[in-house]
Amino acid sequence: MQNDEFKIIEVKDRILEDNDSVANAVRSRMREKGVFLVNLMASPGAGKTTLLARTIRELKDIYRIGVMEADVDSDVDARTVAEAGAKVIQLHTGGSCHMDAEMTRKGLEEMGVDDLDLVFLENIGNLVCPAEFDVGADKRVMLLSVPEGDDKPLKYPLMFQVSDVLLVTKTDTAPVFAFDFERLRANVDRQRARTNQASGRLPILPLSARTGEGFDAWIDWLRTEVDAR
């Protein structure tokens, strides 16, 4: 299936005992090609697409950017990021609530990465299952929106344990929500202390993709990581 702007590919969830070995192969292959792969994860409606669209607009003159939009259905987000100036492919997961390494490998192959420096996988909106699957990304970036609340690390521990950076989005709406950044910090630290999967203290970057507040810190973090690839 294809339209003018981007391909739409059906990817199916398979029970793979060797997800981690496929993930490692994806990571090696992308490093050989000089492509930095980001796995972007969050709840439905946390602002992944809005973040991506602004990130693409700010960085498209510096990096060649690709986006794999994973969705159970529809292609609304793919249109938005294509308009922002990225190479885009839409992945339909056929009901699966997460992406795994093989689905990611197939998506990268279908999109083609030879003309790219930076690729984002916009994972399915879900705080549970995507955290369980290494897709072969260099970094896992998690979004938590202010409206969701500062208690979420208590209820979805694995996502906060495996992520490499946490972007707290929609900070422009903070006046109408009771969101406490110190409590979030304490909840995150407490969950990461419970596991050996966490890679040290989680950087927490508050931002608004609508107003641009705090966005520079995210762009700096990302550029540092991509340039070290």
Within 22-61, the residues that bind a second copy by CB under 8 A are 43-45
Q: Which of 142, 152, 162 is nearest to 39 (CA)?
A: 142
Minimum CB separation of residue 1 from a second copy in Å reads 17
Residue whose structure tokens are 């608004």? 208
Considering beta carbons, is residue 26 or 192 the nearer one to a second copy? 192
Residue whose structure tokens are 């369980």? 132
Minimum CB separation of residue 162 from a second copy in Å reads 13
Taking residues 85 to 124 in sequence order and writing x for each that binds a second copy by CB under 8 A, - otherwise, the string is ----------x-x--------------------------x
145 is an interface residue for a second copy by CB under 8 A: yes
Within 148-187, the residues that bind a second copy by CB under 8 A are 148-149, 151-152, 154-158, 170, 172-173, 175-177
Minimum CB separation of residue 180 from a second copy in Å reads 14
Contact 166, 188 (CB under 8 A): yes
The CA distance from 64 to 57, in Å, is: 11
Minimum CB separation of residue 116 from a second copy in Å reads 25
Instruction: Tell me how many degrees the CA angle 153-81-210 measures, rounded to the nearest 5.
Output: 60
Considering beta carbons, is residue 104 or 145 the nearer one to a second copy? 145
Contact 200, 218 (CB under 8 A): no
Size of the site for a second copy (CB under 8 A): 35
CB proximity list for 1: less than 8 A, separation 6 or greater: 7, 8, 9, 10
Strand order in the sheet with 204-206: 7-10, 87-92, 65-71, 118-122, 36-41, 139-145, 165-169, 204-206
Tell me which residues touch a second copy (CB under 8 A).
Answer: 43-45, 71-74, 76-77, 95, 97, 124-129, 132, 145, 147-149, 151-152, 154-158, 170, 172-173, 175-177
